[in-house]
Amino acid sequence: MDNDKKGLLFVISGPSGVGKGTICKKLLERRKELKLSVSVTTRAPRPGEIEGVNYFFRSEEQFQDMIARDEFLEYMCVFGKNHYGTPKAYVAEQRAQGNDVILEIDVNGALNVKKRCPDAVMIFIAPPSMETLKKRLVGRGTETEEAVERRFAEAVKELAAAGEYDYIVVNDSLDKAVKDTESILVSERLHVSNNPKLINILKGE
Ligand code: ADP
Ligand code: 5GP
């Protein structure tokens, strides 16, 4: 029996340093039908980051041109400093081909996606404690002290938005957080509302 093939849209967000990137990487290794939307950013690449894999790195001017051409599903000035945006063409193409797409984005951007795509599945990744969040942000070693403080202050506001999401996953043990997130992906795929063709076949239509 044929299954429905329209790809689902999963939005994974939560404060900086909570482990979104780490969880998404593991999910992508485990589920080949999942595609990660690569965002555009005006921030400088970190050591080891690859153009087109981690981000599309663009100048502020190039980013503004993309806004003018209406190329973003959503975009944000994150931490009052750099711009980040989700190119909409890739998301639409992948979903049309039946691939599920993950957006790993900040909380404000996520809430905007929900407005534009009400069928998006919203997953909030929460830290086990604020102390752990700070340790992870510092431990990652990618931010200056000032950037850690800015991201941490933003985190307090972001946590207050968790109630706007469909699911919440606490990233304490990484293995458990990956399994919990994967089970959300699997359940959504099996949900009757995401299988109308199959339901019609079963009805004999
Ligand atoms: P985000 O993408 O949300 O900013 P990262 O995925 O970069 O966060 O994770 C931040 C840091 O925390 C990284 O150094 C990562 O290895 C570490 N980390 C992520 N999840 C866990 C976990 N469950 N336990 C311990 N360390 C973790
Ligand atoms: P980082 O600089 O650590 O890679 O990312 C900073 C924050 O920007 C993270 O919370 C990340 O999820 C978010 N982010 C990355 N890409 C996008 C995007 O396309 N849109 C929005 N709104 N946020 C993004």
Per-residue pLDDT of the chain (205 residues; tens, 9 = 90+): 444 578 999 999 999 999 999 999 999 999 988 999 999 999 999 999 999 999 999 999 999 999 999 999 999 998 778 999 999 999 999 999 999 999 999 999 999 999 999 999 999 999 999 999 999 999 999 889 999 999 999 999 999 999 999 999 999 999 999 999 999 999 999 999 999 999 999 999 8
pLDDT of residue 4: 58
pLDDT of residue 2: 46
The rounded Å distance from CA 199 to ligand 1 centre is: 40
pLDDT of residue 89: 96
If one residue of 12, 49, 102, 136 were mutated to test the ligand 1 pocket, choosing by the most ligand atoms within 8 A of its CB, it would be 136
Q: Indicate which residue's Cα is closest to atom 7 of ligand 2.
A: 106
Instruction: Write down the pTM of the prediction.
Output: 0.94
State the Cα–Cα distance between residues 131 and 159, nearest whole angstrom: 14
- In degrees and rounded to multiples of 5, residue 153 shows phi and psi of -65, -40
Residue 25 one-letter amino acid: K
Q: What is the three-state SS of 41-81?
A: ECCCCCCCCCECCCEEECCHHHHHHHHHCCCEEEEEEECCC
Q: Indicate which residue's Cα is closest to atom 17 of ligand 2.
A: 105
CB of 86 closer than 6 angstroms to any ligand 2 atom: yes
Three-class DSSP category at 97: coil
Taking the CA of 109 as reference, the closest ligand is 2
pLDDT in tens, 112-151: 999 999 999 999 999 999 999 999 999 999 889 999 999 9
CB of 76 closer than 6 angstroms to any ligand 2 atom: yes
The rounded Å distance from CA 2 to ligand 2 centre is: 36
Pocket of ligand 1 (CB under 6 A): 16-22, 136, 139-140, 171, 174, 177
pLDDT of residue 1: 45
- In degrees and rounded to multiples of 5, residue 75 shows phi and psi of -150, 160
Residue 105 one-letter amino acid: I
The DSSP-derived string for 118-155 is: TTPEEEEEE-S-HHHHHHHHHHH--S-HHHHHHHHHHH
